[in-house]
Amino acid sequence: MKRIHTPIVGLLLCGTAISGQALAGDVALHGFIRSAYDISNSESKYLETIDDRGSFGDTLAGLNYSVKVNPKWSVAGQLFAKASEGELGLDWAFATFTPNDTTAIRFGRQKYPLGLVTETIDIGTTYPWTRPPQEMYRTELGGESPNLIIESFDGISAVFSGGDDWEYNVQPFFGENNYTFNAGNYIRQMAGIKLETSNDMATLQAGYVSSKLTITDESGTLKLDNQTKTSYNLGAKLEVDDFLAYVEYIDSKVSSDSDFDSTASYATLAYQTGAYLPSVTYAQLEGSGGDLDQTSFTLAVAYQYDVSTVFKAQWKRIEPDDPTTGGLVSALPAGDDTADIASFTMDLVF
C-alpha cells in the first residue's frame, strides 16, 4: 500500500533474504495477525464459507523467522494458521544461497512468484483491500476455482537483480504443488519465469508458467489427468502523489479441456487522504465453460491506526453471468441476480 505500510513489512516478505551485512547466526522473528469478519446478503455461499450468517473464517496468523547461517547462506520459514482450516501448518521454508550481490538461489517451499501481491497475500497491511481480488487471487484448486494462482510451491528458483533508476529482477522457477489442495489435485513439472522492473513510482510485471495439472472432483471423479496447463500474466502498480493504482490480467489454458480455461482481470484506483486510503475496484472472471463468469464492483477503505495496525471495511457486489451456476458465489436463489458481501478486518504486523 502507499502509506498504510510499516518498516516491519520488508522483513515479512517471504522472498526477502537477510542482508548480507548481518552476522552469521543472526535471527529475525516477525509475524502478522488478521481478524476478519465477512457477511453476505445472500444465503448462497461466497468462497464456500461466506453467507448471510456471517463468518470469521478468514481470520489468520503467521509467524516467520529468518537466520543468517554465513555470508552466503540464509534460511527462512513461516508457520501459518487460518480459522476456516483449523490447522497450524508450514506455509513456506527455504534456504537461500547468495553467491554475489545480484544473484539469489532458493531451495525448498517458497511463495509462488507470479502476481503483484502473491508473495504478501496474507499480509493485509501491504494492499488496500480486505483481501486481494478473488477473481484472480483465488488460490484453491478444483472445479470451483479459476486455477490461476497458487500460494506456494516446492522446488527451486533463482533471482537475478540489478539496475539503477529502474531496478529489475528476473526469476525462473521450477517445482510442484501437491500438498495444499484436496486429495487428487496436483500441479507438477511446473516451470515458469517472472520479469519485473520498478522505480519509486511504478512496478511492472510479466510472467509465464507451464505445468502438469491433475484435478479430481469431490465425488472422486478424475477431471484432468496430468494435462498441460499454461498461463501468462501482466501487471502494473503505479503511485503518483496521493494516487495508487493496480492493474492485472491473467490468462490460463488447459490443453485437453477448454472448460478449464480461465481469464481474469481487475483495476483498482485508490487515493490517500491522511490516514485513510479509500479505493474502488472493478474485476472480471471467465472460466469453467461459463460457470465461473462474473463481474464485481468493490468499494474499500483502509485506516492506519498506528505504525503496525490497519483497519479496513469493504463492500463488494458480485454479478454472475448466470446466477444459476456455482462459481465463486454459489447458485443464487431464484430471482436474485447479484450478491453483496461486507467485510471488516484488522491487520497487525509485529
DSSP, residue by residue, 119-153: GGTT-GGGSSSSS--HHHH----STTS-----SEE
| Cβ–Cβ under 8 Å, residues 73 and 95 | yes
Domain region containing 327:
9-349
Q: Is the dihedral of CA 330, 333, 336, 340 positive or negative?
A: negative
- Any idea what the CATH number is for the domain that residue 15 is in? 2.40.160.10
Q: Residue 4 pLDDT > 70, yes or no?
A: no
Q: How many CB atoms lie within 10 A of CB 223?
A: 18
Q: What is the domain count for the chain? A: 1
Do the domain assignments include residue 27?
A: yes
Do the domain assignments include residue 60?
A: yes
Do the domain assignments include residue 2?
A: no
Do the domain assignments include residue 127?
A: yes
Of 3-7, 286-290, 333-337, least confident by mean pLDDT is 3-7
Q: How many CB atoms lie within 10 A of CB 316?
A: 24
- Percent helix, strand, coil in the chain (nearest 5)? 5, 55, 35
Do the domain assignments include residue 3?
A: no
Q: What pLDDT, on a 0 to 100 scale, did the predictor assign at position 17?
A: 38
| Cβ–Cβ under 8 Å, residues 62 and 91 | yes
Do the domain assignments include residue 186?
A: yes
Which residue is it, cell 490468462? 251
Q: What pLDDT, on a 0 to 100 scale, did the predictor assign at position 83?
A: 85
Average pLDDT, whole number, for the chain?
88
User: The C-alpha cell of 329 is what?
Assistant: 458465489
Do the domain assignments include residue 1?
A: no
108: left (phi over 0), alpha (psi -120 to 50) or beta: left
306 Cβ contact partners less than 8 Å away, ≥ 6 residues apart: none
Q: Tell me the whole-structure pTM to 2 decimals.
A: 0.89
Q: What pLDDT, on a 0 to 100 scale, did the predictor assign at position 19?
A: 36
Amino acid, res. 317: R
Q: Read off the pLDDT of each residue in 328-350 and give the average, rounded to a whole number.
A: 93
Do the domain assignments include residue 57?
A: yes
Nearest Cα to Cα of residue 118 among 243, 235, 288: 235
Q: Residue 256 pLDDT > 50, yes or no?
A: yes
